[in-house]
Structure 1
Amino acid sequence: MISEEVKKMLLQDEDGNIFVSSEDVANLNVNNNLNHALLVLSKVGYTSIPVLDNDSRIRGLISMPMIINAIMGLDAIKFDELETMRVEDVMDKNVPIIDATCDLEDILHHVIDHSYLCLVDNEGYFKGIVTRKEILSRVNHLVHELHNHYRLVENLPSKIN
């Protein structure tokens, strides 16, 4: 269990948000073709980005390797498929999703395996992402500032009874 003191220090910042708002997150629609997806992914430079439906609900993730694998044939790359195939056809539907009620401990466990987690509201609408980079930045700040806020005790026994 994460102590309230540590939680407070990890979550503390100017605006009180640990997540990047959906307005600031590159995303694609399930109906976009792969050519558009390739352009967006190339432009933003991220490993993968969220895929939303027409109602702004998260439906999957798409990455450059997914697109390349989809158009790769045995003898040649099928570039014409970029125009005809949709994002929905190749996206990964296994999306790491959290909601506003998710506690910090769950977030920390999830970002071990994912570079970001998609945040949804209670109706499933995409609200943004929590990035591993932001979490690590806060942990870095915490380990460098902890001694300024609390008196640390050395030589604690290895087991607390």
Structure 2
Amino acid sequence: MFSPAIQKLIEERSGSFLIPASKIAFVEESNPLYHAFLILTKVKYAKIPVLNQQSQLVGLVSLAMITDKMLDNDDISVEALSKYQVKDVMQTDFPKVNFTDAELETQLHLLVDNNFIPIVDDDDVFQGMITRREWFKAFNYLAHTFDDHYMVIKKNQILRLEANDE
């Protein structure tokens, strides 16, 4: 559980954690692999969201997933880029959170092992993502402004002060 003081300061910044879906590159599950390959190459992200036609989040895809499909008996074949669709290679088991239910502590735990967390609404419609980078920015804010808001006194100092009062 977060310290209430720390949580309050992080929550001051938490609204800026969400990168809206409109600013994020994605592909649709029915897109050919060459389309995902081009998008991933241009945006230079390791992994991007995969949506269905209803804008629901259904997977994640990376260059490594695509190139793995291109490998054919010690050779690389570009035929796979036209032959397969994104849904044939995408990752379907991944963490995602509903933004209204996403506690800060849950987000932080998920970001330990993931560069980003996709955010969905109650109908699994993709809303955006929270990135490790945004959390680092919040921690930087916390580290630089904590003393502007709070004074820290060690608990054993309080006990000694109370003992001296008697």
TM-score (norm 1): 0.91
Q: Which residue of the partner structure matches residue 38 of structure 2?
A: 39
Q: Which residue of the partner structure matches residue 162 of structure 2?
A: none
- Aligned residue pairs total 156
1: CA distance, partners of 2:156 / 2:125: 46
Q: Which residue of the partner structure matches residue 11 of structure 1?
A: 11
Secondary structure of 1:127's counterpart equals strand
* Structure 1 position 80 matched with structure 2 position 75: no
Secondary structure of 1:39's counterpart equals helix
Between structures 1 and 2, the one with greater helix share: 2
Shift of 1:131: 0.3
TM-score (norm 2): 0.88
Shift of 1:156: 4.2
Larger radius of gyration: 2
Q: Could you tell me which amino acid in structure 2 is paired with residue 3 of structure 1? A: S
Structure 1 residues 116-159: Cα deviation after superposition (integer angstroms, max 9, x where no partner): 001001111110000011011101210221111100124748xx
Q: Which residue of the partner structure matches residue 28 of structure 2?
A: 29
Is there any run of 5+ residues in structure 2 with no aligned partner, and where?
158-166
% same residue: 31
RMSD between superposed Cα atoms in Å: 1.6
Q: Which residue of the partner structure matches residue 133 of structure 2?
A: 133
Q: Could you tell me which amino acid in structure 2 is paired with residue 60 of structure 1? A: G
Is there any run of 5+ residues in structure 1 with no aligned partner, and where?
none
